[in-house]
Structure 1
Amino acid sequence: MTKQTTKWFTSWFDTPFYHILYKDRNTAEAQAFMDTLTDYLNIPEGGTILDLACGKGRHARYLNKIGYDVTGADLSENSIAFAKQFENHRLHFVVHDMCKPFAKQFDAVFNLFTSFGYFEHDEDNLNTIKSIKTNLNEKGLAVIDFMNSEQVIANIVSEEVKMIDDIEFYLKRFVDDGYIIKDIKFTVDGEDYHFQERVRAFMLSDFEALFEEAGVYLLDVFGDYKLRKFHSKTSERLIMIFK
């Protein structure tokens, strides 16, 4: 029997296998990015940050550690249940759909590590931008940290096998109908699993169109976690600051 998901992000992110596949993410790099980003944005001491699509809270926990009042929000109930063990009076985690406005406003809203462009319907991407705008206070700033789709497509690895925690993950990557797709297959305890990650291959121009329609203003664009200049053909990331 093969277990397969249709609305991939509501089930794949809720499995332990997602976190196994990505367990080797660079924590030091993520923390250095948070240091650089919060310094650049000049978020007030003790300021409030919404980490939108926070996963298990690795960014949110570090942001709280360096002095911010942080709310982590994610659609994955399992990820939020895990993150809640780290809560304190200035760190909270909630299950939340990022297409909808949050109940309060913040000094900053972060959407990190390509946690955008999952939706099947374009209006959901637009509604997410509109919600982020609603979630900002008068001086608040928002950040979307997205992949650089042009660079990813040019350097795509079509097939790969990864052995992690005795699980052999078979990965296929391809571009189809405006989406960058990762096909993921593996077997655990004699049961076959099949998941897909589908992320819209948004370019900077696509975000600019979304921002204009949502009535937000793009302030800066960077190409990596050290906030160096964005180059469409070579930069690893597409990091956008807006309000």
Structure 2
Amino acid sequence: MSKSTKQWYASWFNTPYYHILYKDRDYTEAQGFMDNLTNYLNLPAQAKILDLACGKGRHSVYLNSLGYNVTGLDLSEQSIAHAKQYENETLKFNVHDMSKTYPDTFDAVFNLFTSFGYFEDENCNLKTIAAIKEELNEFGFGVIDFMNTNYVIKNLVAEDVKTVEGIDFHQQRYVKNGYIIKDINFEADGEQFEFQERVKAFTLEDFENLFKKAGVHLLDVFGNYKLKKYHPETSDRLILIFK
């Protein structure tokens, strides 16, 4: 049984199996979200955007194609190694821990697709908000795109099996100690693997408290990628705009 002792995201995100399991994500919807978000923020031409926890860089690449100067940061060395093939004069990728301030400022800092609330040390959540504040220029906007935990918990599928590329991913989901947890078990390449995803079940009120402590101001809240109004029980996303 191969089970990592590192923080779950540092090990799981660095495996090829993570990308196999989630290969069918709807990137058309994601690109629509980027269009809606950049239009809403009215970013200047060639604005500087920081894509925080960028993964393999797909959304950074799309934002760059819209004419923005994009820096993508992620803790996963393998993801950044993959993303670097897309680099150009206005698109750069680096390995970076988002709870630490990156030495540059931006017109917008995006933290997309529930890439927050992973840390074992909960102080790192506040440190990440504080880091984003430092990374924004005078006119910059921060964006955190998180799941709506009320909706997710209400619609949680306790157990299922997802087969991708001949691998049967056994998934179990539950809530424990304020975290939404998914246990993932599968056999691949002659070996048995076991991983766990853990995300803090932050509510809007939790974010408001973090923002207050970090000294940032919440400007707007949306409930989906079309930037419709947020409803605590029925929205599938919790999208926060702040500065």
Q: C-alpha distance in 2, partners of 1:116/1:7?
A: 14
Q: How many residues align?
A: 243
Q: Is the CA contact 1:221–1:241 (under 8 Å) kept in the aligned structure 2?
A: yes
Root-mean-square deviation over aligned CA pairs: 0.7
Q: Give the match for residue 221 of structure 2.
A: 221
Letter in 2 for 1:229: K
Q: State the AA in 2 paired with 1:158.
A: A
Output aligned runs, 1:121-160, within 5 Å.
Answer: 121-160=121-160
For residues 16-35 of structure 1, give each alpha carbon's deviation from its aligned partner in whole angstroms, at most 9, with x where no partner exists.
00000000011110111000
Verify: 1:41 aligned to 2:41, yes or no. yes
- Give the Å deviation of 1:67: 0.4
Normalised TM-score (structure 1):
0.99
In structure 1, distance between residues paired with 2:2 and 2:108: 42
Is the CA contact (8 Å cut-off) linking 2:168 and 2:187 kept in structure 1? yes
Q: Deviations over 1:125-165 (max 9, x none)?
A: 00000000000000000100000001000110000100000
TM-score normalized with structure 2 length: 0.99
Contact 2:112 2:145 in 1 (8 A): yes
The answer (yes or no) to whether the contact 1:5–1:12 under 8 Å persists in 2 is: no
SS at match of 1:93: strand
Q: Return the letter of the residue paired with 2:42.
A: N
Confirm or deny: 8 A CA contact 2:4 2:11 kept in the other structure. no
Contact 1:47 1:68 in 2 (8 A): yes
Give the aligned partner of residue 176 of structure 1: 176
Instruction: Indicate the larger mover: 5-14 or 51-60.
Output: 5-14
Q: Which residue of 1 aligns with 2:163?
A: 163
Corresponding position of 2:239: 239
- 2:31 equivalent in structure 1: 31
Residue 192 (structure 1) aligned with residue 200 (structure 2): no
Q: Shift in Å at residue 189 of structure 1?
A: 2.2
Residues 195-232 of structure 1 show CA distances to partners (whole Å, capped at 9, x for unaligned) of: 00000000000000000000000000000000000001
